[in-house]
Structure 1
């Protein structure tokens, strides 16, 4: 059974939320716990982090979720380019400013291509 129902007419927001649900369940089954979902920075042009999770070792994990019907244009993971990474890093920095002692962090991508889910821990870094 496919992870996402691509045949039913849905909005981009609905398909994104469904992909995030699948990613969240996958990460929770791997032992991560949800801290917050859809964290947005204020203002126009701000960034968004789909999921902020905590790994069992205390690492704060900023997760970008991408879903594609197929891999014709490189697939879901390939769509997280340098510009998107920069926006995620800026949003993560904004989130971390609220904490008195920021924990270790990493940036993961959960890519859903058709019915296949791939979790890429440490997919990119803040540098």
Structure 2
């Protein structure tokens, strides 16, 4: 039997993927991994690579989905994205980080999408190219 929170998380990622696809995003990868690093959803919106962190919570949870995107989590996402860009040879492609916050309310999943969810200059500092802030 699967733990309820794992089902909620998987269902939240499914809802996020449907939401993104309905808005013209092309899903490239789901749950991309490099060692212990993971990117929930990697998609494209026109020429931009979009790294999407999905945070799912049940209605009434102590912490909102957005609050779960801590500075430590941001650093981990940046590191994972760097590995993806290197492995894919895509460092010259514009990219950004989005957050899809999903709240489970009974059987319904309420989705809120935040583009450019965080500024990379604070969590990691510096920059490697003129357009990439890391």
Equivalent pairs counted in the alignment come to 115
Unaligned runs of 5+ in 2: 122-134
Equivalent of 2:53 in 61, 64, 69: 64
CA distance in 2, matches of 1:69, 1:100: 38
TM-score by length of 2: 0.78
Q: Which residue of 1 aligns with 2:94?
A: 104
Q: What is the CA-CA distance between 1:71 and the residue it aligns to?
A: 4.7
What does the per-residue CA deviation read over 1:69-89, in whole Å, with 9 as the maximum and x for residues that have no partner?
125534111111111111111
Q: What is the CA-CA distance between 1:112 and the residue it aligns to?
A: 1.0
Change in Cα spacing, 1:113 to 1:87, as seen in structure 2 (3 Å) is same
Query: Contact 1:71–1:113 (CA<8 Å) still a contact in 2?
Result: no
CA distance in 2, matches of 1:54, 1:91: 17
Query: Contact 2:103–2:111 (CA<8 Å) still a contact in 1?
Result: yes
What does the per-residue CA deviation read over 1:37-93, in whole Å, with 9 as the maximum and x for residues that have no partner?
101112xxx32110000002x100000101111255341111111111111110000
Q: What is the CA-CA distance between 1:116 and the residue it aligns to?
A: 2.2
CA RMSD, 1 decimal: 1.7
Change in Cα spacing, 1:17 to 1:72, as seen in structure 2 (3 Å) is closer
CA distance in 2, matches of 1:109, 1:62: 8
CA distance in 2, matches of 1:77, 1:101: 28
Equivalent of 1:51 in 35, 41, 50: 41
